[in-house]
Amino acid sequence: MTEPKRIGIIIGKIYKTANRKQLAGILEEAFSRNISVRIFIMHEEHQQTRIGKESLLHMMQFSRLDGLVFVPYSFGSKEYGDEIERFLLENCPKPVVRIGIEHKPFVPVWYHDRAEMAEITRHLIQVHHCRNLLCLTGQAENPVSLERLAGFQEALAEARIPYEEEKNAVYGDFYLYSAQKLAQEFADKTRPLPDAVVCANDLMAVSLCDALRNHEIAVPDDVLVTGYDGVLESALHLPPVTTYAPSWEQLGRNAMCQLYELMTGKSLVSSKSETGRLLCRESCGCHHPPHLSGELDFNYPRLEENYIDSSLSVRLLSCTTLEEFVRAMYDLNFVFFDPEYYDRERYALCLCENWNEESHHVRTHGGYSEKMMRMHYTGGYTLFPTAEMIPPDFRKSEQPTATFFSALYFQDRCFGYAVLQYTGIADGINPYYLRFCREVSNALEFLRVRNQLQSLAYHDYLSQVRDNLTGLYKLSQLPHIWKDYLEDVRTRNEKCFWIALHIGGLYRLAEIGGALRKDKLLVAFAEYLQNVCSYHEKCLRAGESDFLILGSEPDFSKYHNLLIQNLRDHFEQYQRSQKQIILPLQSAVLTDAEISILTEETLTTAAAALMTRALNNKATYSELLHYKDLKKLRQQIYQNPEQEWSAGICANRLNISSSYFCKIYQRAFGMTCAYDIRRAKMEHGKYLLLHTADTLQEISRKCGYDYSHFMRTFRKFYGMTPTEYRRGK
């Protein structure tokens, strides 16, 4: 079984009636052949928006298409259409049908506007007996302008009315300015007023009628006016404007048939064949009932009411997070969905991974990120490769689908794209969808800027509360931090402690190695401080070489002593790795009992006093002399906890007295030797409980205890029995 074919369409200004009808014709013919369609909507042409819009072109994967229909006349700017055409010539290897009459490398398809323009002109000559006629056409170099002027000339020739270009033709711009200028010439009598003016499109015809009325020249009493295209405005205007409504749908069908032949080599006859029709109205003196020509297929009043009632802009712009924005956006889809098609459409917001970053060079100069985020209503997103174009959660359908891609951007910044898919529906798109996409884009930019401003404000706040060098909180923030921290500690039923740290002799390092070396040491110490402090602690910088730790521990723990020792070890290792003089880390501790009596007014004073204690708590020469031996001895205790250890045994190993040993051990490690020995045995017991199947008696023996002594000591240390610890792990 061959895979169903898939084509692409590049079209602009899809809100225009003619463009929407061409699209409907292409889709109708494609669906009848079970061909799915991907439509790339390029509706804005302002220079500032082009980069953001053109990212949609770079997203196109031609390998996933069998052919392409390009609708250049749907763009108001010829230059913009030419840019897209050049892109296709350079990048698209698949067959391309171009809806237009120019002879280009692409295969052209067009309707017979020369014959239809001649029919309008014959109506004025034969029915209204006009002999003096003027044709207001488009630009002189525009092939459509020349083709429609040629139809006007043919009708004059058939009626044997002489044609003089200066008298019978005016080259305009297909816009209102040329019509207003012509009306001014009639009013100034610099150009004689003809019997009738045949305009090459409805916009110029409507504008001419309005301009003539301003100059008190009546239509149709003084001059007859006709248009071309059959747009809705021609029927709603006063007076209604006579026009020719070509079959835009048939033009689309013919384009699809031509593309099918290029893709398969097989000739294809359109499933339906229809011609345009002349719509005679009051502007040429006819009084037929006005024809709306199916222009009101959509219930525009209802859509407008939905759009206004939804407060779309306000609700999207009021969102403060992306998740809130996505939910609001999906809730507001009803402003463009037609209830008739419920459950036959799907919509997805696809954002670049870094859509809100300030740096966006890659996305504005070559397309989207390699992966897109498919945003979900329930929160979160799914990443999928941009090359797939359509989110993977769009379920496969047995019927052909029409998938619309619309870029989401603000000026030259591209956020991503929106995907709207209809199953088996050829006329589901409406102008309100484009308005919705524009609102979504604006709201994304608003959200991005808001986030940027909030980030800047937060950085400004951090610069006031954080130390610039280390990133730690400043001591001035202690009252603000402590209030919340204390409440959190009490919730956990723990005890508070403060640790003051002072790097002794820091000025000597600055004198020897310079200020930069000193700053590097402080930054490294601040990093160690934050890494070692891993249990809810708050770290503050209290001065040039002073730091304050706010911490907590269970009632049965001596965690703060271990924290101090770990910091000293890390700090010493760092200094040795830098091959510099070893600066001592002096400390002082404020216990829970001392902290509990502090008030908000005395916090800063207490912190300053603690800093002074740390500064004065200097290690003696003897303590520094024995520190290496003490560290080695402590490692042996933790490596061999089952052995018999005591302060006396340890003092003998260092060849010093027991009293002096106990003093320097506590100064070095922040706890007594006896407590540290018990702690080493208990830590070993915890390991055996978790990682072995040994009985409690065996574990007690391996820790150097009898069973009952081990049970009592473990419970005292950890607040639970060994059995409870093993079960709860």
Question: How many domains does the chain divide into?
Answer: 4
DSSP string computed for 61-130: -GGG-SEEEE-GGGSS-HHHHHHHHHHHHHH--S-EEEESSS--SSEEE---HHHHHHHHHHHHHHTS--
Cα distances (angstroms) measured from residue 484 to each of 461, 478, 536: 18, 10, 12
Segment 590-637, tens digit of pLDDT: 988 888 888 888 888 999 999 999 888 876 555 556 777 888 888 888
Q: Are residues 129 and 275 in the same domain?
A: yes
Q: Are residues 480 and 594 in the same domain?
A: yes
Residue 147 lies in a domain: yes
- Please tell me the predicted confidence (pLDDT) of residue 77: 76
Query: Cα–Cα distance between 412 and 395 in angstroms, integer?
Result: 33
Q: Are residues 483 and 545 in the same domain?
A: yes
Q: At which of 451, 481, 498 does a domain end?
A: 451
Q: Are residues 412 and 481 in the same domain?
A: no
Residue 204 lies in a domain: yes
Residue 273 lies in a domain: yes
Residue 37 lies in a domain: yes
Q: Are residues 716 and 654 in the same domain?
A: yes
Q: Where residue 500 sits, what CATH number does that domain have?
A: 3.30.70.270
Q: At which of 588, 618, 648 does a domain end?
A: 618
Highest mean pLDDT among 134-138, 271-275, 529-533: 134-138
State the amino acid at position 462 in one-letter form: L
Query: Cα–Cα distance between 420 and 429 in angstroms, integer?
Result: 9
Residue 128 confidence (pLDDT) above 80: yes
Residue 173 lies in a domain: yes
- Please tell me the predicted confidence (pLDDT) of residue 361: 42
Segment 219-276, tens digit of pLDDT: 999 999 999 988 888 888 999 999 999 888 899 999 999 999 999 998 888 888 888 8
Q: Are residues 174 and 95 in the same domain?
A: no
Q: Are residues 598 and 715 in the same domain?
A: no
| pTM score | 0.61
Q: Are residues 580 and 488 in the same domain?
A: yes
- More confident: 392 or 667: 392
Residue 363 confidence (pLDDT) above 50: no
Instruction: Calculate the dihedral angle through the C-alpha atoms of 303, 308, 312, 317, rounding to the nearest 10 degrees.
Output: 150
Q: Where residue 644 sits, what CATH number does that domain have?
A: 1.10.10.60
* pLDDT tier at 81, thresholds 50, 70, 90: confident
Segment 379-398, tens digit of pLDDT: 889 999 988 888 988 867 77
Residue 290 lies in a domain: no
State the amino acid at position 501 in one-letter form: L
Residue 535 confidence (pLDDT) above 80: no
Instruction: Calculate the dihedral angle through the C-alpha atoms of 597, 598, 601, 602, rounding to the nearest 10 degrees.
Output: 120
Q: Are residues 431 and 507 in the same domain?
A: no
Residues 143-153 have a mean pLDDT of 93
Q: Where residue 275 sits, what CATH number does that domain have?
A: 3.40.50.2300
Residue 631 lies in a domain: no
Segment 426-455, tens digit of pLDDT: 777 777 788 888 889 999 999 988 888 877
Domain coverage including residue 170: 113-245+268-284
* Strand, coil or helix: 604: helix
**293, 305 contact by CB (below 8 A):** no
Residues 313-342 have a mean pLDDT of 81
Residue in 188, 135, 187, 192 with CA at minimum distance from that of residue 161: 135
Q: At which of 558, 592, 618 does a domain end?
A: 618
**Lowest-pLDDT range of 71-85, 297-311, 669-683:** 297-311
Residue 310 lies in a domain: no
Q: Are residues 641 and 707 in the same domain?
A: yes
**Lowest-pLDDT range of 91-95, 105-109, 153-157:** 105-109
Give kind and range of the element (H or E) at residue 498: strand 495-503
**Lowest-pLDDT range of 244-258, 560-574, 702-716:** 560-574
Partnered with residue 419 across adjacent β-strands are 348, 405
Q: Are residues 274 and 130 in the same domain?
A: yes
Q: Are residues 165 and 70 in the same domain?
A: no
The pairing of strands 413-423 and 473-474 is unpaired
The overall average pLDDT reported for the chain is 85
